Structure formats: C-alpha cells, structure tokens
Amino acid sequence: MAEQTAKIVRFHELGGADVLKIEDLPLEEPGKGEVRLRVKAIGLNRAECMFRLGKYLVHPTLPSKIGYEASGIVEAVGEGVDAAWVGKTVSTVPAFHADEYGVYGEVAIVPVGALAEYPARLSYEEGTSIWMQYITAYGAIVLQGKVVKGDFVLITAASSSVGLAAIEIVKAEGAVSIATTRTSKKKAELLALGADYVIATEEEDLAARVMEITGGKGARIIFDPVAGKGIQALAASASVGATIFEYGALALEPTPFPLFAALTKHLWFKGYTLFEVVGDPAAFPVAKKYVFDHLESGAFQPKIARTFPFSEVVQAQEYMESNAQVGKIMVVV
C-alpha cells in the first residue's frame, strides 16, 4: 500500500518569499493533545514574513514549516483529544509559537487548544481571517486599554487586517478611530470601512492632525505595529496619561525612547502581543466570545484583500510585502 502524503510548505534557508517550497511529505498523525486539520484556507500574517527572514520573536529550526491561521475540517485527533472534534469545521487561533507548528499545507497538525468554531455563515476564507486580527486588537484596546465611549484611538498601519479589526472594535465600543496610512491612496477605502478619520503620514503632520481632530487633547490609546523612529510622532500625538501599545516591529530599525514626551505627558508604553490573551485561561474564552458574538451580529465583517491558489503561496507572500493590500490575504487550498 502506497504511503499517504500531503503537500506542505517548508523553507530550508532564510530569505525572501521564494525560499518557500511546496513539498510532498508523509501524512503525519496527530500526537497527544493535537488534531489534524484538512486545510481549506490559509490566512497570511506579517509575522510569517519576519519569521521566514529570521527577524521574528522566535527563530526557525530549518527545514521549517510556517503559518498560524487556517480553517478546515478536523479529520483526526491524537491521544487525550475528544473524538467529537472529528468532522467539525474550525479555524486556528495563533495560540502556539511560530517555530512549533505550521499551517501552510493541505493538512496541518495543531494543538486542540488552538481550535475555535466560528459562525456558520462565514466562508472558509472569512473564518480563517478572524482570530489573529480581532483578538490582537481586542486585547490591547478593550482588555488592557479599557476603551470607553468618546475615547480617541490612534491606529497605525490601519489597512492591515489587525488595523481594520481595531477600527471595527473602536466603533463597536463607541470610541473615535484615527487611522493612519502612508499615502492618500487607501484613504477613501479606510473611511468606507469605518474609520472616523484617516491621516496620510507621508503627506500630513501626524501630531498636528491628531491634535486638530482631538481638540488639542491627543489620543488616549495608540495601537502601533511599526515602532522605529515613528515612535516620536506617536508620543507627540498622545494625550496626557495615554498608553502606546507596541505590538510589532515592522520598521526593522531601532526604536528611540521619546523621553521628554513620556515625562511631560506621563505616558505608558506597553509591549504587547496576542499571546498575553490566548495564554491567559481566564481572558482567552472571553476574547473568543467577544469576537464570535460581534461576528454573529454582523458588527464585525472580515475584509478579504485578495485570494491566491495554494500553488501561488510565494506570490501571496510577495503581495503582502508589497503593502498594496487592504485587509487579509488568503490562500485557498
């Protein structure tokens, strides 16, 4: 009897998107606490590009799998996992580290704790594109930032899937979103997707515009995945006592500490990732319910930027690195 195989994406060296290779590998069985997912759709994340380059929080052990987010049907369970999962349609929550598992493939082995069911009205693509973005934004803005009605929230890199999720969450909580994008090219679309204000940072003075919008107060919550020297303008845009959530390092450059702004405005700087939420047994189920309920009500509408076939996974990552997208980039298996 021929050995069963599955097509899995791996990379054997660090580098650009072209290091990703689709390989025929033996079909793995799930181990203790794991399931095997028959993958239908894969969602791309910036973290995966940085992981592939060797510039992420954890480093790959080569050859390495890749990927956090997928949806599909559970087809096998490992020791200690309830067999009732078999046949269920689920998506993965990034509740594991990038160097532990990988979901780019026809199948994926993932821990059962990383599975979540989503509203049945969502497509596989939509179901894939929810947990990373909404839980990341929820944890900072709602759980830790304690956003209230009327708060001004500054959201940078707003055309990303997490940025769009943040815009929807701010609206749902009755606060005011100020979204940033580099040029005016995406301005109209961001406004159409719910942003209250949009600032093109290469064309406008960020701090001056924020102060104009907020009547001189500044933003109480700042949600930023970029870091780098732009932190100075963010601090200048902050209100007294504001919290600046840094949840990424897309600038790939040193981040200077804005000492004088921090001292004069009594600012809080918070290094943050969604692992704080998914790793907290009390917060994680609350976060999942928050996202599920808002999806069910229609308050949250995941935005798919573009879809690629599995054979074009390299092109999909190259598209992500082009920064042309508004929303989530998907790969359909």
2: pLDDT confidence band, cut at 50, 70 and 90?
low
Q: What mean pLDDT do residues 193-211 have?
A: 97
Q: What is the pLDDT of residue 57?
A: 85
pLDDT tens profile 84-112? 999 999 999 999 989 999 999 999 999 99
pLDDT tens profile 262-300? 999 999 999 999 999 999 999 999 999 999 999 999 999
Answer whether 11's CB lies under 8 Å from 21's CB. Answer: yes
Answer whether 78's CB lies under 8 Å from 33's CB. Answer: yes
Question: Is this prediction's pTM over 0.95?
Answer: no
pLDDT tens profile 110-152? 999 999 999 999 999 999 999 999 999 999 999 999 999 999 9
**Among 17-21, 98-102, 214-218, the least confident range:** 98-102
Q: What mean pLDDT do residues 197-219 have?
A: 97
Q: What is the pLDDT of residue 29?
A: 95
Burial class of residue 57 (count of CB atoms within 10 Å of its CB; 0-12, 13-18, 19+): middle
